[in-house]
Amino acid sequence: MSKPLFEGVCASTITPFRADGSLQLELLPAHIDWIIAEGANAISPLGSSGEFTALEVSDRKRLLEAAIAANNGRVPVLAGTHHYSTRLTVELSKHAESAGADALLIVPPYYMAPTPAQVMDHFRRIAEAVRIPVIVYHNIPLTAVDLRTEHLLQLFEEKAIAGVKMSNPEPDRIVQLLQATDRKFVVYCGIDNVAFEGLSHGAHGWISGIPSMVPAAARKLYEAIAIRSDLPAARTIWAQLAPLMRLQFSAYHSRGEGANWFSVMKAALNMIGPPVGDPCPPILPLPHQFREQLAAMLANLGYKVR
């Protein structure tokens, strides 16, 4: 694993769809140009925000190739190559490496709830097939898999993985990994409600909703904490960002009513950036009752809202 991993904020780029569910790849370059102009330090095509679960393997490959071409080497690319099947995850990972991805960001096998030992073997087999770094996308609610600190450290010591995107609402899970390896193991904050604390403890970066919707604002927070150690400034920035975080994850955290996180993301991008289209059903566009709240939050962050 020869390529070093980025530090900073990473935007999970979207997948644009037509109304019939086919890919609308002509919208992708302008989206990626906007993300990079906003100051993202890296991009991650085909993460959760890339709606990879709605795509066949062939379309995932087409989308990744288009994203890498649009990026044109400007920032590191963390390719989402997740699949339930180890065989197809390896196939997608090898394709991503050959297409020019800098690293792989991979969620554990989902739905069938494999044991930690089985998941660890899954990641070992991926690492054997590629030479670029592998990052675990730790997401218990959507995979039913919890690789604990000791599991992740074992994979790191074996050189099967180089880092983790920790989408876990317990900040101490981030802290444990940082302290156990003196920050040698790369840890990214993977859900917005732990970003402030995780970055304050030395997390290497941030990959989640806010960096994907408003990268410039996310980068301001990252730099205030990680670069300048300016806690008062960081608190002021977070006071502006926190309402957006709460709206975005209202349904996710309550496991019930509220705004769907991805409906919020695509609505925000359509309001302030180049058009990205609507989510792929069953996720639907953001309902009207949330749109005014979202528009006000984006305006408060300094964006011109359409």
Question: What amino acid positions are annotated as catalytic residues?
Answer: 137, 165
| Cα(97)–Cα(305) distance, integer angstroms | 37
> Which residues partner with 10 through β-bridges?
42, 207
Query: Residue 104: which of 114, 113, 95 has the closest Cα?
Result: 95
Give the E-state strand segments of 96-162 in sequence order. Answer: 103-106, 134-138
| Cα(205)–Cα(165) distance, integer angstroms | 9
Residue 84 CB neighbour total at 10 angstroms: 16
φ and ψ at 115, to 5 degrees? -70, 160
Residue type, 81: T
| Cα(156)–Cα(22) distance, integer angstroms | 38
Q: Give the DSSP H/E element, type plus range, for residue 111.
A: none
| Cα(102)–Cα(15) distance, integer angstroms | 19
Q: For residue 25, how far is the Cα from the chain centroid?
A: 20
| Cα(191)–Cα(19) distance, integer angstroms | 29
Pair type for strands 103-106 and 78-80: parallel
Residue type, 272: I
Count how many residues are written for the chain: 306
Tell me the CA distances in angstroms from 196 to 74, 173, 180, 230, 232, one per residue in order: 27, 14, 20, 12, 12
Residues 271 and 286: beta-carbon distance below 8 Å: no
